[in-house]
Amino acid sequence: MLELEGVTVRFGGTTAVEDVSLRVGAGSVLAVLGPSGCGKSTLLRAVAGLERLDAGTVRWEGRDLAGVPTHERGFALMFQDGQLFAHASVAQNIDYPLRLRRAGRAERTRRVEELLELVGLPGYGDRRPATLSGGEQQRVALARSLAADPVLLLLDEPLSALDRSLRDRLAGDLREILVATGTTALLVTHDHDEAFTVADRMAVMLAGSVAQEGPSSEVWRAPATRDVAEFVGFETFLSGAPLLAFRRAAGASGDPPTGTLALRRAALRVDASGQLRGIVRRAVTVSDAVQLQVDVEGVGAMAATTQDAGIRRGDHVALRADLSLSAYVFSGNHQNNG
């Protein structure tokens, strides 16, 4: 188990990571999710032993890692851009950690084959990294990291350099591989879909501090603050009269809990039987849906979605409200969350 306690990293006058405490249980995958510049990569490097802590401790299986150099921690770090050794072949890259551990020749060959198979690149052993596509390079980097048999795999935005469809596919693959190999992993990303796909738990990191930490589904369902909610994909925030109007339309009864109601786009769908009325202000077609911006009567501007590609700007639509895709959050100040 990895335990971080009060980890703080400063660069000169600026604090990149402030008082972060986290745990990653054996065999589980924790995603640290945050916008770029929030300090999550620094946190990861601190865990790897590449950054000096200004305060706090990093412990593995209860042992304080202070003074343990990177290469003796038994972790593996996979960079955003792979950092493959350009002068070596794919097989030699994957072989590298095996050679470092002085594994036998036969075992090394077998293991390299196995890993290439695992990441879906059988027969790529003799290729040069420069001849591979970005996705292939990342797969090789993953195989190389796994070859180290790391007790903990550190993934620094492993997929964000890739294009979207590839990223979605690889994220799924990555999840499967991590589960299949039972690897404990700490993933850092700015992409919440990636985090949801790959991780069991997630920690949302904002401006150097962890704003919320918990099982992925919980963070997904119940973001603790408005900042977190915004970051994990909630787009509309309602309070006061609009909140009540929306609740009514959704058929909710009783007094609403305190706080702001955060809504995902899918919480408001175009539906002829819906109780809300609105005028479409913008319609953008994405791969499997049309994203709308709607002025909803009695509520205001809201994000909505539909499957009907015929809807145009200016159309009057009926909308169905769905409270299951909403959460109550507190004001934007993430520091007072639990």
Partner 1 sequence: MTRTTRTRAGALAACLAVALPLTSCTLMGGDEEEPSPATAPAPAGSGDEDAATGTSDVGETTQAAPPGDTTTVTLVTHDSFALPDDLVAQFEASTGYDLQIQLSGDAGELTNQLVLTAGSPIGDVAFGIDNTFSGRAIDNGVLAPYTPKNLPESAADHALEGGDAAYLTPVDYGDVCVNVDNVWFANNGLTPPATLNDLLKPEYKDLFVTPGATTSSPGMAFLLATIGAFGPGQWQPYWEDLMANGAKVTSGWTDAYTVDFTAGGGGGDRPIVLSYSSSPPFTIPEGGWQPTTSALLDTCFRQTEYAGVLEGTDNPEGAQAVIDWLVSPEVQAVIPDNMYMYPVDDQVPLPQLWAQFAPLSEEPIVVPARQIEAERETWLQEWADIATG
Partner 2 sequence: MTPRFTAQGVTLGLATLVPVAFLAVFFVLPVSGMLGRGFFPDGSLDLSGVPDVLGRTRTLRVLWFTLWSSAAGTALTLALGLPVAFVLYRLRFPGRGLLRALVVMPFVLPTVVVGVMFRSLLSRGGPLGVLGWDGTWVPILLAFVFFNLAVVVRTVGGMWEGLDRRAEESAAALGATPWQVWRSVTLPALTPAVVSAGTLVFLFCSTAFGVVLTLGGLRYGTVETEIYLLTTQFLDLQGAAVLSVLQLAAVVVMLALAARTRRSRERGLARVGATAAARRPRRDDIPALVATALAVAFVLLPVGSLVVRSLRRAGGWTLANYRMLADPGSTPVLRVSVVQAVENSLRTAVDATVLAMVLGLVVALVVSRRPGQRLWAGVVSALDGAFMLPLGISAVTVGFGFLITLDRPPLDLRTSPVLVPVAQAMVALPLVVRTLAPVLRSVDPRQREAAAALGAGPWRAAWTTEAPVLARPLLAATGFAFAVSLGEFGATSFLARPDRPTVPVVIYQLISRPGAENLGMALAASVVLALLTVTVMGVVERLRVGSVGTF
From 5, 21, 35, 96, residue interacting with partner 2 (rule: CB under 8 A): 96
Distance, CA of 54 to CA of 10 (rounded, Å)? 6
Determine the distance from the C-alpha atom of residue 78 to the mean position of all C-alpha atoms in its chain, rounded to a whole number: 15
Burial of 63 (0-12, 13-18, 19+ CB in 10 A): exposed
With tokens 């977190």, the residue in question is: 228
Binding map of partner 2 across residues 7-46, x = CB under 8 A, - = no contact: ----xx--------------------------------xx
**Do residues 80 and 145 touch, judged by C-beta distance below 8 A?**
no
Question: Which positions from 228 through 267 interact with partner 1, judged by CB under 8 A?
Answer: none
Q: Is 62 in the site for partner 2 (CB under 8 A)?
A: no
Binding map of partner 1 across residues 85-124, x = CB under 8 A, - = no contact: --xxx--x--------------------------------
Could you give the strand order of the β-sheet that contains 2-11, starting from the edge strand earlier in sequence? Answer: 14-24, 2-11, 55-60, 63-64
Question: Which positions from 58 through 87 interact with partner 1, judged by CB under 8 A?
Answer: 87
Q: Is 240 in the site for partner 2 (CB under 8 A)?
A: no
Give Cα separations from 175 to 114, 118, 230 (angstroms).
18, 12, 25
Q: Is 76 in the site for partner 2 (CB under 8 A)?
A: yes
State the minimum distance, in angstroms, from the CB of residue 85 to partner 1.
Answer: 9
Residue type, 126: D
Q: Quick one: DSSP state of residue 208?
A: T
Nearer residue to partner 2 within complex by CB, 96 or 330: 96
Binding map of partner 2 across residues 98-137, x = CB under 8 A, - = no contact: --xx----------------------------x-------
